[in-house]
Structure 1
Amino acid sequence: MTEEAAGAETFISHLVELRDRLVKASIGIAIACAALFIWPGPSHVYDLLAMPMVASLPAGSKMIATGVISPFLVPMKVTLLLAFIISLPWVFYQLWAFIAPGLYIHEKRLVLPLVISSSLLFIAGVAFCYFFVFGRVFQFIGEFAPSSIAVTPDIENYLDFVMSMCLAFGATFEVPVVVVILVRMGIVTVEKLKSIRSYVIVGAFVIAAIVTPPDVVSQLALAIPMCLLFELGLLVAPIFARVTRTPEEAA
């Protein structure tokens, strides 16, 4: 077998492995989605998601649906989003399992801790956004609404806003994992990251200003946790690198 043929065969095997991992991840999401359809049901799932917005509306106000199929389509999207969050540990495991064959034995020790920590941090970011940020942001925005305006948000616009915010908070809560990986792989040292701390803080506020609404509450609610999580990554990275080092590295 020629070198080109061997390379092509290896590439095809990687594509097959990637397909299998994507199929397994999709099956996990489908199972979680089916369970949510059985209980509590898409309508109740959406009611749970809409609670922060409804609680900040004036007494007697409700959200509206301007699209013909919005009352059906939006709860389905919310259920799918929640199913994805619930099955996130399984999805992350499939991702790391796809990467693992190309790693050394000592690097494979990183898989389980990173899968668990990535999943927990993403879910923690979404929970922080839902329980802490939404109520304060909606109340802050509602206070600026003139009395002549009837506050009746559209459910599709609300879903788009909630999805973007939850994904933004979930992704930014992965900062400690990124710091640990960079340090463990030797790409950058803890001392170097400490020396650029001021740039990281500025970057956190810039990212918060881009991905959040133009209000101070939501921007601070994202930027401050990012800075704190960066510091957490600086504390955990040396410990993680020491625990997972190989005998050669220890010597």
Structure 2
Amino acid sequence: MPVTIAGLDRLMMRGFKLLGRLAIFGCLLLLTGCLQYDLNIQFDSQTHGQLVQQLHWRGAEVLTNPDWSQRLTELRDRTAAVDGTIRFVDEQTLTITIPFNNGAELEQKFNDFFNPETITSGLFNLPSGEAITAHLALRQNNWFGVIFNHVDIQFDLTSVPDLTATRLPLLQQQQLLIGNVMLTAPWVRLPTGELTAAEQWALVPGQVNTLTADFWVPSYIGIGAAAIALFVLIGYGLKYWLRLG
């Protein structure tokens, strides 16, 4: 069957589009490398916890690269604003630790860190300038000695292209971002109803990731108050018993 000029034009246009997509995603990988992002929300008790984030760039030595200087400065400012610290593990890896003293502080510091009022080119921005944002909402109830928590977390990764969705063979084993979110607490309820010490979710590029969980932490203030009340009752009981005796 003969190929028409119009058919050749369409084939050439498809070829150019394919090459263009390869070039764009290839440049992104060369400029930024692949980011491995892991977040662990560690909630030990009613009055103590920390956010631990580890960022590892495969193929990009951000610590010694002058092109990353402004981004590192802004990240240090964002971390300091929420009383956090940054530690460089090596030239490609850093760890951010943000402490919190209660649920309200966790919610505030998480949202302030991921959605600062002024930011121009942070490490959570793509080279095109699009930001990666996240939001956390926490609801708490006191259950006499333990605190019940329901957490909702949203990671908006719609600006991060899912390279596997391009169906381009050269990009099938590549991603601009690979990440996991973990919740660590004394008692975390899994979707099956089983209680465990941690739950983990994988982040999926190209979409809004919605994560929810229920967990409990001990309330030492509540336990202390209950113990005091118990001792008072025992004291009154002994006093009454001695009077009767």
How high is the TM-score relative to the length of structure 2?
0.29
Higher alpha-carbon Rg? 2
Name the structure where strand makes up a greater proportion of residues. Answer: 2
More helix by share: 1
